[in-house]
Amino acid sequence: MRCTVFGTGYLGATHAACMAELGHDVLGVDIDPGKVAKLSAGEVPFYEPGLAEVLRRNIEAGRLQFTTSYTEAAAFADLHFLGVGTPQKKGEYAADLRHVHSVIDTLAPLLDRPAVIVGKSTVPVGTAAELGARARALAPAGDTVEVAWNPEFLREGFAVQDTLHPDRMVLGVDRDRPGSVETQLRQLYAPLLAEDIPFLVTDLATAELVKVSANAFLATKISFINAISEVCEATGADVTQLADALGYDARIGRRFLNAGLGFGGGCLPKDIRAFMARAGELGANQALHFLREVDSINMRRRTRMVELAAQVCGGSLLGANVAVLGAAFKPESDDVRDSPALNVAGMMQLHGAVVSVYDPKALDNSRRLFPTLNYATSVAEACENADAVLVLTEWAEFAALKPDDLAGVVRARVMVDGRNCLDAQQWRNAGWVYRGLGRG
């Protein structure tokens, strides 16, 4: 089959490459000529394990191309995916839909044959119906243009695996306009569906809501354990053992119960805020009041970390040398959008600390966002003469650190584990002060 994918960020580039991997002819479309040039040359503009190989293999096979031309895209296929970003609006909770609107407004006037537009981006409920009406009004093909929603649940760091082996597929269709999208997508995704993956067909609003509800649930689960972690700190209990014990209950499950510095990134924080904003517009704001608390528990972890850092540095961060290990919002990613680690590093600098940051992949992105922090090229360099070492992103490289690796490097043997990824006893036995969030 042939399809296009509009937007070549984490979502769009992965979807385009993976659809080509399934054997389809794919054209990725982006307004940024720099990104298009890089991708065309087989280079991924961000760090995503395994994606470069899939990209190159399919470019070489002639199944995957990239362009900035909407005219080319409209001529290339009649199945178009929408994978552009829906960031948080500046100074507001609501999602900024300008990229989604811009694709529809530019593409629709070029559609002179029956076409299907399938949204994959995370959008406020009601967006798909509105985009459908907009596209049909603008397209020469008019009523034969169909808009459907097929939300994407991929995680950064596992994007290829999640796209090629999803837990489930959700497809929202316009119930008032029976069309061909379900048949087309079942055919396109046939190799994936062969693995007996549930394929749920819903109305448009339900499909849009599935995605934001899933992210709201995950965020709530993390903030739940972080709230319990605050109580653990107040009583001397250990939140990691508590989470293990909770997790054995199959109704609860252990995943997403890792207490620590909380969630960040380009999805969970902005998605729960946009969800609250949309519920408010719909007159259902009371229903999602609890997400405000989810958000504030999450943000409180960051200030708590700064307090803990001050405490271990003798009561004040002024003039203290602090090593920060980790800058990406999570391991296996170079994404620093709303990164808890960088946020904490920035706050500590405001409190007068000299902060040295090391991350295996996210240093370039960090420099752009926080140019005044010091960046080191290795763990040892970041930890030189440190009064405290803070692990703020649980990269495997940091989780594998041994007390002896740093003993001769730091000024004071103080380890603060912001992600509860180290063996507390091992560090204490080696004579270090070990502190973790929610660990007594």
- Residues tagged in the binding site annotation for NAD(+): 30, 35, 86, 122, 156, 270, 337
* Active-site option among 18, 267, 383, 421: 267
Least distance between ligand UDX and beta carbon 440 (Å):
19
| DSSP-assigned beta bridge partners for residue 375 | 357
What is the distance between the alpha carbons of residues 119 and 218, in angstroms, rounded to a whole number?
Answer: 22
Structure-block tokens of residue 239:
């939140």
Q: Are 295 and 226 in contact (CB under 8 A)?
A: no
Binding residues for substrate: 153-156, 211, 256-260, 264, 330
3-state DSSP assignment of residue 437: coil
Q: Are 230 and 194 in contact (CB under 8 A)?
A: no
Binding residues: 30, 35, 86, 122, 153-156, 211, 256-260, 264, 270, 330, 337
Least distance between ligand UDX and beta carbon 260 (Å):
5
What is the distance between the alpha carbons of residues 65 and 172, in angstroms, rounded to a whole number?
Answer: 28
267 labelled catalytic: yes
Q: Which of 360, 364, 325 is nearest to 344 (CA)?
A: 325
Nearer to ligand UDX, 14 or 356 (CB): 14
Which residues make up the interface to ligand UDX (CB under 6 A)? Answer: 153-156, 215, 218, 222, 256-258, 260, 262-265, 267-268, 329-330
Nearer to ligand UDX, 321 or 343 (CB): 343
Least distance between ligand UDX and beta carbon 156 (Å):
4
Nearer to ligand UDX, 51 or 73 (CB): 51
Nearer to ligand UDX, 27 or 421 (CB): 421
Least distance between ligand UDX and beta carbon 100 (Å):
17
Least distance between ligand UDX and beta carbon 423 (Å):
18
The string of DSSP codes covering 97-141 is: -HHHHHHHHHHGGG--S-EEEEE-S---TTHHHHHHHHHHHH-TT
Nearer to ligand UDX, 146 or 156 (CB): 156
Structure-block tokens of residue 201:
């067909």
Label the pairing between strands 199-203 and 321-325. Answer: unpaired
Q: What are phi and psi of 64, to 5 degrees?
A: -135, 125
Q: Which residues are catalytic?
A: 267
